[in-house]
A and B are shown apart, each in its own frame.
Chain A
Amino acid sequence: MMPIWLALAKVLLAFVVGLGVVVLLVWFERKIVSDLQNRIGPNRAGPFGILQTVADGLKLFFKEQITPSRVERFVFELAPFLAVVPALMLFLVVPIARPIEITLDGAPYLLSFAALDINVGLLFALAMSSIAVYAIVLAGWSSGSKYPLIGGVRGSAQAISYEAAMGLSMVAVVMWVTTLPGVTDMGAMSVNEIVLRQQGTFFPDLLALSWIPQWNLIPQFPAFVIFMIAIFAETNRAPFDLVEAEQEIVAGFNTEYSGMRFAMFFLAEYLNMFTMSALAVSLFLGGWGGPFLDTIDGWAATALSFGYFLFKTGLVLFLFVWVRATLPRFRYDQLMQLGWKRLIPTALLWLILTTLVVSFREFGAPWA
């Protein structure tokens, strides 16, 4: 049984890491986009403009929060919180560093760095990402104005459409890691467990190939592609940012929001991006795993694994930004076509294929 203070400390750590990364992420995105567009970008606040987000945040904090007269006040004020909470919660199941053996009350204790190491972690992640859409829908409705409403309706349809594909790609991963050779116990819906089962290499005996890490990315590449597309849509990022398509519906669901409430939506979007990337890293890219972890031990290894985790997440985040700067926005019907007619069938086919391979691996050939 974990003491309460430790649980609280873990949650606190997760929040600090999440919020800290978000502050950097906003700057990171602006810098990258400006580089890709041959501009300079923020460069005044702090070295390389790194404090720009802090400055913006302070500015928004002191701005007046305008409440238009036709809003549904209670829901209108609730929506920004609903945006932030699921994003923060989702991050709780992601292990950010290698577990470490410590002594707790005189007994050895394996300290894992996932704040919430539950055995249905992936389900929890899916559930949280599915309720994130409430913020958009409710913000859009409660604003009492037509553009936000359109944004909200788009958001709900989009979330439902892509959640299915995302869940299906996750199922393929769970089946794959559950039946890895040498694994005897069942059940790997815990994100922590999935990361653990990706440590090691595919061909430990072949010297030339022994460096290839045992990441799900390789055997589950189609699932990875589906998952990435789905999380772009789930986080409402370009090219799926129809909920706030500025050419069509002003700023979409958050048109009527200002000041700190707007800042919370902004925060939630980047937090979602970060947590989804972290989830992608955990599911497909070996989580905190990396070279030389076995050669050192203690807190140094934990710190190194945390570094690996941040680095990989940074790569995925770079992909987010890169895509945003490159691709134009989908039309709404294209979005729906892609979701229902391409992504979900592909995910189902891949799931069936994985099932066949997995049952072959588990039970042997049917003709044997």
Chain B
Amino acid sequence: MADWISLPVNWVFLVLALVIAFAGVKVVTSRNLIHAALSLVGVLASTAALFLLLSAEFVAWVLVLVYVGAVLVLFLFGIMITRAPMGREVSLDNERRGLAAITALATFALLAGTSWVAFGDVEIEGVGDPITTGDLADSLLGRYLIPFEIVSFVLLAALIGGIALARKDRSPAEEAERTDA
């Protein structure tokens, strides 16, 4: 235990973990959609910081770039272009709070249990060694070539679906007009 306290890294971890836990709770309990989204930013940014602690710079900054910089901005865009709520909203809450809390705690217990069973308090070698972008690229385009490509299929299918479902069909008259033009 004394070892644990003497390492500054552990303190940083503790702070980040507390921020993540607190912000995570805020995401689901906040009565304002924008505040919830901002709390999610906090969660993701702190997670990126955790990756930095593990010397996984690439993953950390990709997390910031993709999730904080793009996905959540899109969230905000979506919220603002539709309702842009200010103040509290009652409709964000429902009666199944208790059940949801139990599910969340059970999931946490399961994950924590798994981690404990799998690793115990064994110190794992090699974690925290810096991984260069080149190493990542090698394994993505080498060992994981096929999954890497297939992930793009998942996105393609979702993309086609999103566009095909959201697009308004042209009426026959419009279609004819378009063909004439």
Contact of B68 among A124, A130, A156 (CB under 8 A): A130
Q: With both chains docked as a complex, state the minimum distance between the C-beta of A279 and any C-beta of chain B, in angstroms.
A: 15
Q: Which residues of the partner chain A approach B132 to less than 8 Å between Cβ atoms?
A: 119, 186-187
When chains A and B are docked, how far (Å) is the Cα of A189 from the Cα of B73? Answer: 25
Q: A119-B133, A156-B73, A156-B76 are in contact. Are A149 and B57 (CB under 8 A)?
A: no
Report yes or no: A127 in contact with B64, Cβ–Cβ below 8 A: yes
Contact of A187 among B65, B69, B86, B134 (CB under 8 A): B134
Which stretch (B9-17, B77-85, B112-120, B155-163) binds chain A? Answer: B77-85
Number of interface residues of A (CB under 8 A): 30
Which chain B residues (119-154) contact chain A, with CB distance < 8 Å?
132-134
Answer whether residue A260 sits at the interface, using C-beta atoms and an 8 A cutoff: no
Answer whether residue A159 sits at the interface, using C-beta atoms and an 8 A cutoff: yes
Answer whether residue A134 sits at the interface, using C-beta atoms and an 8 A cutoff: yes
Q: Which residues of the partner chain B approach A75 to less than 8 Å between Cβ atoms?
A: 34, 38
Interface residue tally of chain B, by bracket? 20 to 34
Answer whether residue A131 sits at the interface, using C-beta atoms and an 8 A cutoff: yes
Report yes or no: A160 in contact with B77, Cβ–Cβ below 8 A: yes
When chains A and B are docked, how far (Å) is the Cα of A189 from the Cα of B74? Answer: 27
Which chain A residues (68-124) contact chain B, with CB distance < 8 Å?
70, 72, 75, 118-120, 123-124
Report yes or no: B133 in contact with A160, Cβ–Cβ below 8 A: no
Q: A123-B58, A137-B76, A149-B80 are in contact. Are A131 and B68 (CB under 8 A)?
A: yes
Contacts A123-B62, A131-B68, A137-B80 supplied; 16 other A-B pairs, CB < 8 Å: A72-B34, A119-B133, A123-B58, A126-B61, A130-B65, A131-B69, A133-B69, A138-B34, A141-B84, A153-B80, A156-B76, A156-B80, A159-B73, A160-B74, A186-B132, A186-B134
Give the interface of A toward B (CB within 8 A).
Answer: 70, 72, 75, 118-120, 123-124, 126-127, 130-131, 133-134, 137-138, 140-141, 144, 149, 152-153, 156-157, 159-160, 163, 186-187, 189
9 smallest beta-carbon distances between A and B, as pairs: A130-B69, A127-B64, A127-B65, A156-B77, A186-B134, A123-B61, A187-B134, A127-B61, A120-B57
Give the interface of B toward A (CB within 8 A).
Answer: 34, 38, 41, 57-58, 61-62, 64-65, 68-70, 73-74, 76-77, 80-81, 84, 86, 132-134
